[in-house]
Chain A
Amino acid sequence: MAEKKLMKGNEAIAEAAIRGGCRFYAGYPITPQNEIPEYMSWRLNEVGGHFVQAESEIAAINMVYGSAGAGGRAMTSSSSPGISLKQEGISYICGAELPCVIVNMVRSGPGLGGIQPAQCDYFQAVKGGGHGDYRMLVYAPNSVQECVNLMYDAYDKAEKYRLPVMMLGDGMLGQIMEAVELPPMKDPKTFPKKPWATTGEGIGKTRRIINSLYIVPDELEAMNKKLQKVYDEMAANETMVEEYKLDDAEIVLTAYGTVGRIVKSSVDLLREKGIKAGLIRPITVYPFPKDAFKRVGEMPCVKEIVAVELSTGQYIEDVKLYTECRKPVKFYGRSGGNVMSPEDVVDFVLKEVK
Chain B
Amino acid sequence: MERLIVAGFGGQGVLSLGQIIAYASMYENKNVTWLPSYGPEMRGGTANCSVVVDDNPIASPVIATPDTLIAMNKPSLDKFVDKVKSGGLVLVNSSLISEKVKRDDVTVVYVDANAVAHKVGNDKASNLVVLGAYIKYSNLFPKEVMLSTIEKVFAAKPKFIESNKACFMAGYEH
| A31-B35 contact in complex given A341-B60, A341-B62, A342-B62, C-beta closer than 8 Å | no
In this assembly, does A154 line the interface, its C-beta being within 8 Å of a C-beta of chain B?
A: no
Among B22, B61, B65, contact of A343 (Cβ-Cβ < 8 Å): B65
In this assembly, does A208 line the interface, its C-beta being within 8 Å of a C-beta of chain B?
A: no
Q: What are the interface flags for A1-32 relative to B under an 8 Å C-beta threshold, 1 for contact and 0 otherwise?
A: 00010100000000000000000000000011
Nearest-CB residue, chain B, relative to A34: B38
A345 to chain B, nearest CB (A): 10
| A115-B38 contact in complex given A179-B31, A179-B32, C-beta closer than 8 Å | yes
Q: What are the interface flags for A145-162 relative to B under an 8 Å C-beta threshold, 1 for contact and 0 otherwise?
A: 000000000000000000
Of the four ranges (under 10, 10 to 19, 20 to 34, 35 or more), the interface on chain B belongs to 20 to 34
Among A6, A172, A266, A268, contact of B61 (Cβ-Cβ < 8 Å): A172
In this assembly, does A220 line the interface, its C-beta being within 8 Å of a C-beta of chain B?
A: no
Set of chain B residues within 8 Å of A115, measured between Cβ atoms: 38-40
B36 to chain A, nearest CB (A): 6
Set of chain A residues within 8 Å of B32, measured between Cβ atoms: 6, 178-179
Q: Judging by beta carbons under 8 Å apart, are B35 and A176 in contact?
A: yes
In this assembly, does B68 line the interface, its C-beta being within 8 Å of a C-beta of chain A?
A: no
| A32-B22 contact in complex given A261-B59, A342-B62, A342-B64, C-beta closer than 8 Å | no
Nearest-CB residue, chain B, relative to A174: B38
B residues 11-45 touching A (CB-CB < 8 Å): 19, 22-23, 25-26, 31-36, 38-40
In this assembly, does A175 line the interface, its C-beta being within 8 Å of a C-beta of chain B?
A: yes
Q: How many A-B contacts are there with CB distance less than 8 Å?
A: 67
In this assembly, does A109 line the interface, its C-beta being within 8 Å of a C-beta of chain B?
A: no
> Which of B25, B33, B59, B64 has its CB near the most chain A CB atoms (within 10 A)?
B59
In this assembly, does A339 line the interface, its C-beta being within 8 Å of a C-beta of chain B?
A: yes
Set of chain A residues within 8 Å of B33, measured between Cβ atoms: 176-178
Q: Judging by beta carbons under 8 Å apart, are A262 and B34 in contact?
A: no
In the complex the two chains form, what is the Cα distance from A6 to B26 in whole Å?
Answer: 7
Nearest-CB residue, chain A, relative to B60: A265
| A175-B35 contact in complex given A4-B26, A6-B26, A265-B59, C-beta closer than 8 Å | yes
> Chain B binding site: helix, strand, loop or mixed by DSSP?
mixed
> Which of A179, A258, A262 has its CB near the most chain B CB atoms (within 10 A)?
A179
B112 to chain A, nearest CB (A): 30
Set of chain A residues within 8 Å of B62, measured between Cβ atoms: 172, 262, 339-342
Set of chain B residues within 8 Å of A86, measured between Cβ atoms: none
Set of chain A residues within 8 Å of B25, measured between Cβ atoms: 179
B residues 104-157 touching A (CB-CB < 8 Å): none
Set of chain A residues within 8 Å of B26, measured between Cβ atoms: 4, 6, 179
Set of chain B residues within 8 Å of A344, measured between Cβ atoms: 64
Q: Judging by beta carbons under 8 Å apart, are A262 and B59 in contact?
A: yes
In this assembly, does A336 line the interface, its C-beta being within 8 Å of a C-beta of chain B?
A: no
In this assembly, does A73 line the interface, its C-beta being within 8 Å of a C-beta of chain B?
A: no
B7 to chain A, nearest CB (A): 16
Set of chain A residues within 8 Å of B35, measured between Cβ atoms: 172, 175-177
Nearest-CB residue, chain B, relative to A260: B59
In the complex the two chains form, what is the Cα distance from A261 to B34 in whole Å?
Answer: 14
Set of chain B residues within 8 Å of A342, measured between Cβ atoms: 59-60, 62, 64
Set of chain A residues within 8 Å of B101, measured between Cβ atoms: none
In this assembly, does B63 line the interface, its C-beta being within 8 Å of a C-beta of chain A?
A: yes
In the complex the two chains form, what is the Cα distance from A332 to B39 in whole Å?
Answer: 26
Q: What are the interface flags for A231-256 relative to B under an 8 Å C-beta threshold, 1 for contact and 0 otherwise?
A: 00000000000000000000000000
Name A residues whose Cβ lies closer than 8 Å to a Cβ of B.
Answer: 4, 6, 31-32, 115-116, 171-172, 175-179, 258, 261-262, 264-266, 268, 339-344
* Interchain residue pairs with CB less than 8 A apart (27): A6-B23, A6-B34, A31-B38, A32-B39, A115-B38, A116-B39, A171-B38, A175-B36, A175-B38, A176-B35, A176-B36, A178-B32, A178-B33, A178-B34, A179-B26, A179-B32, A262-B59, A265-B59, A265-B60, A339-B62, A341-B62, A341-B63, A342-B59, A342-B60, A343-B64, A343-B65, A344-B64
Q: A341-B60, A341-B63 are in contact. List 17 more A-B contacts (CB 8 A).
A: A6-B32, A32-B39, A171-B38, A172-B35, A176-B33, A176-B35, A176-B36, A176-B61, A177-B22, A178-B34, A179-B26, A179-B31, A258-B61, A261-B60, A264-B59, A265-B59, A344-B64
